[in-house]
């Protein structure tokens, strides 16, 4: 350490005493002496790099060793590589190299070789991100480089294979198939309205077959339904095959008025006006024109009518009948066997009214009535 010059100018006694003690500390030695950077470098305790005092170890630039523990994971469209931090002194950065399989290697199922690798990036840390897109595969190697620019060997001869994930559109393409195709994919796409199993289906993406434990469906179009239990506030159209229906009145035909929710959607049936048939637990009520007889040879007939609250049959042929009381306006009987009169039976002869307009001929088994 260079000696400090002596102070010759007159100073106050207390300041002279302070300066003398500082000089002794700087120029002196022993346990209380100051140590310079030069003394630390000479002693091997420190080093000098670009005018900056560094540790003795940092001042030594070692030979780079290859990275260890190189591993990768594929994200949706990027690869994340990690490796162990370097243990040699004087490390500067790590180079990351990558290669892609050639078409011939893909066909043969072979990995690319190290000579195909190209430098894709450098980092001072021990991780690296590489964007390669979805559904892609790369093979990776790494080198360490020290501050003198000397590079190590590659981490290994064989590259580390990493594949990125598939994006949602690609997954949907893989899982989907054209309607009517042979694919077993669960989804299929319909580009325009069509009919499946008799049900009109709008355009959209559909599942071929699925078991759903619990679902809320706003609008379903079902061609065939098998269910252990159906709970519904409103059924617009229902087909029942020989099953017993228990509950409130069931209507066929008529004008229906619905209860609606705040959005104007029908939620339940409020009333049914003029139904053709109404069935409940006490019986069934039929509209008079609900009965129509199928006539294979002509127009179907509606045999019933109501006049003055009396149900009438318009025309009928009765093969065998027992009538307690008959009111007949006009009769034409072609086969009359007998007439019961109070306690007896008339089996032959002719019975006439006084004006000859009512004639019963038991011999010929006819009745003639004139009005």
On the question of pLDDT at 32 being above 50, the answer is yes
On the question of pLDDT at 9 being above 60, the answer is yes
- CA dist 209 and 175 (Å) reads 13
Residues 80-100: tens digit of each pLDDT: 999 999 999 889 999 999 999
Residues 251-270: tens digit of each pLDDT: 787 888 888 888 888 777 77
Name the region of 17 (left: φ>0; alpha: ψ -120 to 50; beta: rest).
alpha
- CA dist 340 and 338 (Å) reads 7
Q: Structure tokens of 130?
A: 């590489």
Residues 308-335: tens digit of each pLDDT: 888 888 777 777 777 777 676 666 666 6
pLDDT recorded at residue 300: 81
Query: In the chain, which ranges are continuous DSSP H helix?
Result: 13-27, 37-42, 103-108, 168-175
Residue 125's contacts (CB-CB under 8 Å, 6 or more residues apart) are 94
pLDDT recorded at residue 243: 55
What domains can be seen in the chain, in order of their start residue?
A: 13-55 (no CATH), 71-166 (2.60.40.10), 233-316 (no CATH), 332-369 (no CATH)
State mean pLDDT over 122-150. Answer: 93
pLDDT recorded at residue 180: 46
* 3-state DSSP percent of the chain in helix, strand and coil, to 5: 10, 35, 55
β-bridge mates for residue 350, sequence order: 361
Residues 166-215: tens digit of each pLDDT: 776 656 665 565 554 455 666 777 788 887 766 677 787 777 777 777 77
Lowest mean pLDDT among 19-28, 147-156, 305-314, 334-343: 334-343
Model confidence pTM above 0.85? no
Averaged pLDDT of the chain = 79
CA 167 to chain centre: 16
Max mean pLDDT among 115-119, 202-206, 276-280 falls in 115-119
- CA dist 152 and 59 (Å) reads 19
State mean pLDDT over 132-154. Answer: 93
pLDDT recorded at residue 145: 95
- CA dist 111 and 148 (Å) reads 33
Residues 99, 102, 105, CA angle at the centre, nearest 5°?
Answer: 110
């Amino acid at each position: 350490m260079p000696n400090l010059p002596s102070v010759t100018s007159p100073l106050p006694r207390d300041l002279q005493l302070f300066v003398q003690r500082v000089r002794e500390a700087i120029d002196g030695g022993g346990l209380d002496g100051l140590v310079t950077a030069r003394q630390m470098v000479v002693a091997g305790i420190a080093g000098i790099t670009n005018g900056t005092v560094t540790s003795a170890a940092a001042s030594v630039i070692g030979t780079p060793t290859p990275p260890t523990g190189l591993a990768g994971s594929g994200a949706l469209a990027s690869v994340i590589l990690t490796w162990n931090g370097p243990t040699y002194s004087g490390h500067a950065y790590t180079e990351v190299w990558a290669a892609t399989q050639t078409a011939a290697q893909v066909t043969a199922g072979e990995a690319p070789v190290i000579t195909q690798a190209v430098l894709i990036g450098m980092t001072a840390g021990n991780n690296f991100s590489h964007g390669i897109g979805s559904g892609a595969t790369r093979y990776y190697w790494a080198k360490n480089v020290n501050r003198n620019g000397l590079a190590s060997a590659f981490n290994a001869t064989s590259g580390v294979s990493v594949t990125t994930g598939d994006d949602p559109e690609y997954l949907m393409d893989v899982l989907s198939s054209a309607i009517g195709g042979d694919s077993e994919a669960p989804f299929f796409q319909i580009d325009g309205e069509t009919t499946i199993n008799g049900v009109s289906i709008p355009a959209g993406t559909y599942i071929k077959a699925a078991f759903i434990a619990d679902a809320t469906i706003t609008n379903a179009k079902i061609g065939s339904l098998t269910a252990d239990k159906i709970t519904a506030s409103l059924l617009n159209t229902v087909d029942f095959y020989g099953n017993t229906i228990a509950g409130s009145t069931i209507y066929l035909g008529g004008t229906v008025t619905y209860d609606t929710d705040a959005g104007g959607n029908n939620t339940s049936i409020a009333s049914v006006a003029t139904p053709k048939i109404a069935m409940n637990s006490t019986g069934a009520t039929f509209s008079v024109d609900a009965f129509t007889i199928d006539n294979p040879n002509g127009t179907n007939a509606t045999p019933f009518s109501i006049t003055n609250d009396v149900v009438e049959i318009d025309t009928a042929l009765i093969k065998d009948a027992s009538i307690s009381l008959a009111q007949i306006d006009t009769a034409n009987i072609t086969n009359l066997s007998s007439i019961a009169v109070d306690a007896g039976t008339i089996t032959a002869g002719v019975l006439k009214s006084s004006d000859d307009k009512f004639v019963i001929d038991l011999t010929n088994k006819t009745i003639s009535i004139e009005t």
